[in-house]
Structure 1
């Protein structure tokens, strides 16, 4: 991951397709996992599925149209600047040819800590930034429109987030919740809700209430998202991984359990899903292995 340090040196040329990540400044590292840039010069529209992940993302579309595809091929235009809450099912996305976007991938509790929004209200939704923060969204949008450099745009986004950090007091610190989140992430989802609650000396109900408030999903569903991300990590590290080994290492009971979970998330079996290749799929796998 590259640190976002803008100098007078010439900016690198972004070959197409490209996915790059940049580390945040020290003050934002407790909240932001990374910034990213994605560019593609496709001659035709690309359609693919993005699996649920453990990260809320703030996305700014610079060029091209992007749409959510619903049942019966109904299209919903994604906002030019919006926030993707945690999802319980895959998102069907269609990108119209040449496309450029940049964004912020937040740590699991990071968006709540910065914006202090009830995260369950964002679950399974993509919400425009304007709806979330009102007129303040206009300032960052105008700044992004006034520069064509994605690196300068990321600088502007970082300054915007620093301003948000300074504009409100921090919410109550919950060490037990942060330990629980860290345990889920470090184990790749190989932990139960009961184990998390017992380690924190709180009830499962209390743990679930705080997960819903600050993460957006119940602990059980958050664990499932982390576990499917772990599957992508293993497959990226070893493309010829034995499926049974992946299933075992990701704590699925058996192949049927894995296939059932995977199909619930994507509507497809793993074999069908991984048989298709696209730029969007490749970029997502790159993101998964860095998670």
Structure 2
């Protein structure tokens, strides 16, 4: 992985757990790589690991170090399979076992879900009220459970929607993408692309043409 423009990559373990991401990461993979990706809903990783998410922000970790010995066994099993469907079942069973010890959903989790479903286009005041918390209490919980304040998270969700729209519908113009993602104008979209993707939309467009793997377009809108 590499967060800079310099071509310097660090080899990652076979099973990687990524914390909340706010910075661009370039990933170089073997052209014959087969992988299984699990995407957690906001707050879910905290409920499973019981680890403050600000400690994992913008970093990747050996999943075995956080999930324990059973994760290491799963990694060994996955390294030996030839059928990805078998691998998916192994991963699903592993995660289902973890559900027995997971904390029950609270109003806070439902509020985060509402913010997520609306792609960040929900006021922080409204989201905090859904969590049955004051704005300050909500902000503190966000820091612990998603690694950042709710305003930053909402902004990332909006950017993510725009990025996914372009990956899924490359023929769509950027003004339409900005509108569908909830931006007031194209300039705000450009600003977020520079911050989170390290490039303006036209540069991203060129980069994606030369990218075989589209990492975001298969995520649900």
TM range (shorter): 0.7 to 0.9
Question: Residues 46-85 of structure 1 correspond to what in structure 2 (within 5 A)?
Answer: 67-68=1-2, 70-85=4-19
CA shift, 1:269, in A, is 0.7
Question: Residues 160-175 of structure 1 correspond to what in structure 2 (within 5 A)?
Answer: 160-166=94-100, 168=101, 170-171=102-103, 173-175=105-107
Cα deviation code 1:73-99 (max 9, x no counterpart): 221112210111111112111123322
Q: 1:98 aligns with which of 12, 32, 36?
A: 32
Select the structure that is richer in strand.
1
Which range moved further: 254-263 or 236-245?
236-245
Select the structure that is richer in helix.
2
1:268 aligns to what? 199
Structure 2 SS opposite 1:207: helix
CA contact (8 A) 2:15 2:62 kept: yes
CA contact (8 A) 1:69 1:93 kept: no
TM-score (norm 1): 0.67
Q: Which residues of structure 2 form unaligned runs of 5+?
A: none
CA contact (8 A) 1:188 1:226 kept: yes
CA contact (8 A) 2:3 2:23 kept: no
CA distance in 1, matches of 2:32, 2:109: 40
Which range moved further: 182-191 or 236-245?
236-245
CA contact (8 A) 1:68 1:77 kept: no
- Structure 1 position 202 matched with structure 2 position 133: yes
2:212 aligns to what? 279
Cα deviation code 1:241-289 (max 9, x no counterpart): 3422322332323222211111011111101111231212xx324324x
2:41 aligns to what? 107
TM-score (norm 2): 0.87
CA contact (8 A) 2:159 2:189 kept: no
Q: Which residues of structure 1 form unaligned runs of 5+?
A: 1-66
CA distance in 1, matches of 2:197, 2:84: 32
- Structure 1 position 138 matched with structure 2 position 69: no
CA RMSD of aligned residues (A): 2.3
CA shift, 1:233, in A, is 4.4
CA distance in 2, matches of 1:93, 1:233: 17
Which range moved further: 85-94 or 130-139?
130-139
CA distance in 1, matches of 2:142, 2:131: 13
CA distance in 2, matches of 1:72, 1:234: 28
Count of residue pairs brought into register by the alignment: 219
